[in-house]
Structure 1
Amino acid sequence: MTSTTTAEPSAPAPKRFRGGPWGTLVAIAFGVMMVALDGTIVAVANPVIGADLNASLAELQWVTHGYLLGLAVFLITAGKLGDRFGHRRMYMIGVVGFMLTSVAIALSSGVILLVAFRVLQGVFGAIIAPAAMGLLRSSFPPHMLGRAFGVFGSLLGGATAAGPIVGGFLVGVFGWQSVFYINVPVGLLAVGLGVWLLAPNRAVDAGSRLDAPGILLLSVAIFALVWALVEAPTIGWAHPETLLVLALALVFAVAFALREHLAADPLLPLGIFRSSSVSIGTVLMILMALGLMGSLFFVTFYLQGVHGMSPIESGLQLLPMTAMMAVGSPLAGRLMDRVGTRVPTAAGLTAAALGLLVLSQLATDSGVVHISAGFVLLGGGLSFVMTGATAAIIGNAPVKLAGVASGMQQAAMQLGGSLGTAVLGALLSVTIAGALPGHFADAGLPRPDAAELAAMQGLVSQGAAAVPEGASAEVAAAITGASHLAFMDGMHLAFGVSAVVMFLAALLSLAMKPAPRTEQPAVHV
């Protein structure tokens, strides 16, 4: 097979729908939403899964993190495969595999098997996401990329934020298995639209070779990092196992960087990071996911455990954030096509920080207005951040690296989600351990000893209370009240730290530069 190097035209998009830019966007919509939805849909289902399968908090975290692990480890590699073999082909493979693993998850009878299939589901999700973004990057002309990324961000952010709402309804009516069965009709629709609307398969980097050593080194580095982030809150950050796995991640990451520097055809050309916008956009994507995924994971425990809401009610409470993310991203894309990414992204990060500050002031009896105000600011702000960071990363990458750049963008988002739940979870847990004895004493209860505190900590971290069997109504109310106050202390600190991180990220975003308005050379097959 021979290849020729030509320049991508910067002419306006074709008018045709089938095989054109907007037809491509419609075709990939349901596949993208399916992947994003599954990252958060189990947030509301976690308490029910835990009760049904007798799972601990650590095991419940793995239901979420197993999926993120599969995604994060394979995203960049999947992006390279899309560049090499064609994004249309990889997209269809990913959608079919995602459906099949979803059915396997729903049929799982134990939490270990469920987590294993969640990891595999994440691998297929990793194939879908960069393939979809690669299709957009090669279909839309440069002057319309902001708009395309805005709509893409709306799909991604809206589905991510809608997960708890959809999950709440499905769990409340049909049981937790339905949050996975729903992927079958959605996936079939995605396959049908892909066959109908997507242009013939086209590889944008057909002449490249697969960097097998680079794939291995990067996969081990990311796997070790995510593993450490998941396990550290449970076994301790200073535990020898945590330190060993973190050291392993560092060693393999350094080895990967050296390999990519020397490789003739690297998996991830390090020259891409010479663009300050690509580097900053990657950091911003991590921080954005840290705030979004971290807040969603713990706020569901607040709504269901502390407020006593049902899964459906807690999902509906998140509707303001969902709406803002769905509406805000297309607006952000249009605005960024006109004024660039820097100012809108900084404004979005500032709004998200203010939203987290509002959420950090929640009380056990906070009303709907207070909760919704925080989610409106958070959702609206993050929609601008997601669009701006995506445009910064992919808009500054050449077309032939569209899949790799998209995989890097998505990997940053997944790593940020794992980092958010791990670090914020550690802050929550440590705060609860320190605050619970004092709240027990204030409620006229005997202070728990070390063993009792360790036994209570997991339940309190989920917004619940360890009420002894046979306790009187008065004692049960006192234990529940003290437990909820300790949980609120931990949640306040977690949200406060997230707000500070967002403010710092807003300052960093001001260093981004605009993406080029003309296409860079691309390889056609």
Structure 2
Amino acid sequence: MSRMQLTLLRYSDTNWYRWVVFATVVSGTFMVNVDSSIVNVALPVLERDFHAGPEVLQWVISSYLLMITGVLPIVGGLSDRLDRKVVFMAGVGIFTVGSILCALSDSILQLILFRIFQSIGGAIIMGNVMSIVSHIFPTGKRGRPLGLVGSVVAAGTIVGPSLGGILISLYSWRAIFWVNLPIGLISFATSAFVLMAIRSNKPLHRFDTLGAGLFFIGIVCLMLFISEGPKWGWRGIQSILEITVSSISLSGFIWRELKAHNPVIELPLFRSGAFTLGNLTGYLSYVVMMFPGILLPLYMHDVLQIPTAHIGLLLTPQAICMIIFSPVGGWFADKFGTNWPATTGFLFATLGLGLMSMLNTASSYVDIVIALSVFGLGMGLFTSPNNVSVLESVPIEKSGLTGSLMATVRNFGRVSGVAISVLLLQISGSDLKTIQGFTHAFSFAFKIVVVIGVIGTFLTIIRFTVHRKIRQPSDGL
């Protein structure tokens, strides 16, 4: 063991060192989340510069999301077999190089391909942040830092569009990728000096390449079906082809994982009630989280005719409340356990959705702010305890895979939420081109998502009856 590693090991039990490591790794996840939203504001400029239509431009965003979701469990499984410090640094390096390549792109095809390369680094970062935090902080003290991870994710999502607008107006669209260079270099350098080696004591086994391939094909085809189904038509030939390939691939993946000696995803993990219910309620939380983001801007523009500049400001209370209450939820989880704050959080989120379902043609700015604030408060209280519950329901050596699965669930929930929200508008039976018709469709969609919120709350209550798996003393570093 090197002198540096011995020094870091000496300080590994100190509180200040844990927070230094936390600051180091969350800088990477902040960069990834900024980049996931910063590109949206550049689409009109990309359309002009590359003379590309919306059907092509959408892949600048979709390819990034699809690749991250498809490879997250794969990189999570690999990080559990390797040194998480090295894997995390590799992710930061790939993401930074990918950002440089995106900034130097000369065609829309190059930009899409480089975004795919960049997303691999993003997946590696996202799949290791919660794992490293779980290793550094002991059981009973993880709620607060994991809650702050949620705040950083929300902050990155908020900063992205506004930062992108400023950079594009001052420089060009290429600046939104160049901005990742200094952040990436700082994150890489500090990781090299601050992070200690984090390895599993288990021997390295052959990686299940076939299982990884089947999962990747299955999940990508499923996400394409969900995200593009409204445009293709749910009974269209493309939709049928995608869902068929997805079903075959995922069925083959499950069959393979049940027989493989070293599976990509250890399906027995789902025998844990806390693990299964935590991921299921997490998925539902991200589904409902997309409804305000997709439907409220349309409602405010088409029904209340609110100026675009005001719409952006009116959407911020949700994110602000999530930033504030995510660490609060984590603190409650450390003090009182995960079930009470998670249940209370989902209940408040459902209440917020109910308030949104009552918005109409006469609603005011205050009505919107109150509804979004209650919803953001609930999501903030729910997310951190739920993450703690899932991470502490599995052995610490599986935290890389678990963190990756949670990030996969997050992305999958977001894509599902977008598709479901649009689908509910379409099947409401209302004329979306009229104010009254859109208002009726908007209310219909939110009444349905309130039902989803009630189901999520009920599932969090069920966890009170689930015997949580007790960790072994080897959970430490």
Identity of aligned residues (%): 27
Given the superposition, is the C-alpha separation of residues 515 and 24 from structure 1 closer, same or farther in structure 2, using an over 3 Å criterion?
farther
Matched residue, 1:14: 13
Distance in 1 separating the partners of 2:163 and 2:470: 39
Matched residue, 1:132: 129
Distance in 2 separating the partners of 1:298 and 1:179: 27
Matched residue, 1:251: 248
Distance in 2 separating the partners of 1:60 and 1:497: 31
- Unaligned 5+ segments in structure 2 are 1-10
Matched residue, 1:519: 472
Given the superposition, is the C-alpha separation of residues 152 and 227 from structure 1 closer, same or farther in structure 2, using an over 3 Å criterion?
same
Matched residue, 1:214: 211
Matched residue, 1:388: 385
Letter in 1 for 2:35: D
Matched residue, 1:291: 288
Given the superposition, is the C-alpha separation of residues 420 and 520 from structure 1 closer, same or farther in structure 2, using an over 3 Å criterion?
farther
Deviation at residue 516 of structure 1 after TM alignment:
5.0
- Assess if the C-alpha contact under 8 Å between 2:284 and 2:456 holds in 1: yes
Partner secondary structure for residue 81 of structure 2:
helix
- Assess if the C-alpha contact under 8 Å between 2:272 and 2:469 holds in 1: no
Q: 1:330 aligns with which of 327, 333, 358?
A: 327
Distance in 2 separating the partners of 1:320 and 1:75: 30
- Unaligned 5+ segments in structure 1 are 1-11, 440-481
Given the superposition, is the C-alpha separation of residues 37 and 297 from structure 1 closer, same or farther in structure 2, using an over 3 Å criterion?
farther
- Assess if the C-alpha contact under 8 Å between 1:65 and 1:418 holds in 2: no
Matched residue, 1:442: none
Matched residue, 1:378: 375
Distance in 2 separating the partners of 1:294 and 1:179: 27
Q: TM-score, normalised by structure 1?
A: 0.79
Matched residue, 2:225: 228
Matched residue, 2:431: 435
Given the superposition, is the C-alpha separation of residues 248 and 266 from structure 1 closer, same or farther in structure 2, using an over 3 Å criterion?
same
Deviates more, 1:362-371 or 1:283-292: 362-371
Matched residue, 1:282: 279
Distance in 1 separating the partners of 2:48 and 2:196: 46
CA deviation profile, 1:140-177 (whole Å, cap 9, x unmatched): 11111222322222222332344444445545655554
Matched residue, 1:426: 423
Q: 1:500 aligns with which of 451, 463, 467?
A: 451
Q: 1:398 aligns with which of 395, 400, 403?
A: 395
Given the superposition, is the C-alpha separation of residues 381 and 338 from structure 1 closer, same or farther in structure 2, using an over 3 Å criterion?
same
Given the superposition, is the C-alpha separation of residues 119 and 495 from structure 1 closer, same or farther in structure 2, using an over 3 Å criterion?
farther
Residue correspondence of structure 1 range 68-467 to structure 2 within 5 A = 68-108=65-105, 111-170=108-167, 174=171, 176-200=173-197, 202-203=199-200, 205-301=202-298, 307=305, 309-310=307-308, 313-363=310-360, 366-429=363-426, 431=428, 434-436=430-432
Distance in 1 separating the partners of 2:168 and 2:442: 25
Matched residue, 1:458: none
Letter in 1 for 2:21: T
Partner secondary structure for residue 403 of structure 1:
helix
CA deviation profile, 1:176-222 (whole Å, cap 9, x unmatched): 54443332232223223322321135345453331111111111111
CA deviation profile, 1:107-143 (whole Å, cap 9, x unmatched): 4465554443333322221100121122112111111
Deviation at residue 58 of structure 1 after TM alignment:
4.9
Given the superposition, is the C-alpha separation of residues 33 and 496 from structure 1 closer, same or farther in structure 2, using an over 3 Å criterion?
farther
Letter in 1 for 2:450: A
Deviation at residue 326 of structure 1 after TM alignment:
1.2
- Assess if the C-alpha contact under 8 Å between 2:349 and 2:377 holds in 1: yes
CA deviation profile, 1:315-364 (whole Å, cap 9, x unmatched): 43333222211111111011011222222112211222222233344456
Given the superposition, is the C-alpha separation of residues 392 and 290 from structure 1 closer, same or farther in structure 2, using an over 3 Å criterion?
same
Deviation at residue 89 of structure 1 after TM alignment:
1.0
- Assess if the C-alpha contact under 8 Å between 1:130 and 1:403 holds in 2: yes
Letter in 2 for 1:498: V
CA deviation profile, 1:39-72 (whole Å, cap 9, x unmatched): 3334455566556656655555544332221111
Distance in 1 separating the partners of 2:445 and 2:42: 22
Partner secondary structure for residue 396 of structure 1:
coil
Distance in 2 separating the partners of 1:32 and 1:332: 20
Letter in 2 for 1:180: F
Letter in 1 for 2:431: A
Distance in 1 separating the partners of 2:307 and 2:104: 27
Partner secondary structure for residue 237 of structure 1:
coil
Deviation at residue 236 of structure 1 after TM alignment:
0.7
Aligned residues: 464
Partner secondary structure for residue 435 of structure 1:
coil
Distance in 2 separating the partners of 1:174 and 1:361: 43
Residue correspondence of structure 1 range 476-495 to structure 2 within 5 A = 482=434, 487-495=438-446
Partner secondary structure for residue 462 of structure 2:
coil
CA deviation profile, 1:287-331 (whole Å, cap 9, x unmatched): 1221223432444455667746456x5443333222211111111
CA deviation profile, 1:245-268 (whole Å, cap 9, x unmatched): 112212211211111111112111
- Assess if the C-alpha contact under 8 Å between 1:341 and 1:392 holds in 2: yes
Matched residue, 1:443: none
Given the superposition, is the C-alpha separation of residues 500 and 163 from structure 1 closer, same or farther in structure 2, using an over 3 Å criterion?
farther
Partner secondary structure for residue 84 of structure 1:
coil
Distance in 2 separating the partners of 1:42 and 1:70: 16
Letter in 2 for 1:226: M
Given the superposition, is the C-alpha separation of residues 158 and 493 from structure 1 closer, same or farther in structure 2, using an over 3 Å criterion?
farther
- Assess if the C-alpha contact under 8 Å between 2:83 and 2:197 holds in 1: no
Partner secondary structure for residue 143 of structure 1:
coil
Letter in 2 for 1:327: I
Structure 1 vs Structure 2 CA RMSD: 3.0
Deviates more, 1:254-263 or 1:184-193: 184-193
Deviates more, 1:384-393 or 1:407-416: 384-393
Deviation at residue 75 of structure 1 after TM alignment:
0.3
Given the superposition, is the C-alpha separation of residues 194 and 141 from structure 1 closer, same or farther in structure 2, using an over 3 Å criterion?
same
